[in-house]
């Protein structure tokens, strides 16, 4: 299955990609939030910087674990 097919099935796949794969996805899809954020994760950016880059609040990165 190709990178594009995997991303189409689950955009969270971007977080499993290396930098070269992310650049291929970026070229194909444009500036999609998961791709931009995954690149920022690789660069060890802060949650605040990631949120600003994709236009959300840092609290949007918090999640609740359901028990």
Interval 14-65: pLDDT, tens? 999 999 999 999 999 998 999 999 999 999 999 899 989 988 888 887 765 5
Could you give the CA distance from residue 42 to residue 25 in angstroms, rounded to a whole number? 15
pLDDT of residue 65: 55
pLDDT at 34: 92
Cα-based distances in Å from 14 to 48, 52, 60, 66, 67:
20, 19, 18, 24, 27
Query: Looking at residue 63, what is its pLDDT?
Result: 67
Angle CA(24)–CA(13)–CA(33) in degrees, nearest 5?
70
CB 14 within 8 A of CB 35: yes
- The pTM assigned to this predicted structure is 0.83
Domain boundary assignment for the chain = 3-56
């Amino acid at each position: 299955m190709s990178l594009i097919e995997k991303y189409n099935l689950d955009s969270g796949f971007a977080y499993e990609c290396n930098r070269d794969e992310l650049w291929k996805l970026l070229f194909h899809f444009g500036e999609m939030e998961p791709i931009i954020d995954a690149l920022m994760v690789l660069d060890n950016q802060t949650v605040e910087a990631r949120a600003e880059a994709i236009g959300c609040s840092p609290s949007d990165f918090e999640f609740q674990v359901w028990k």
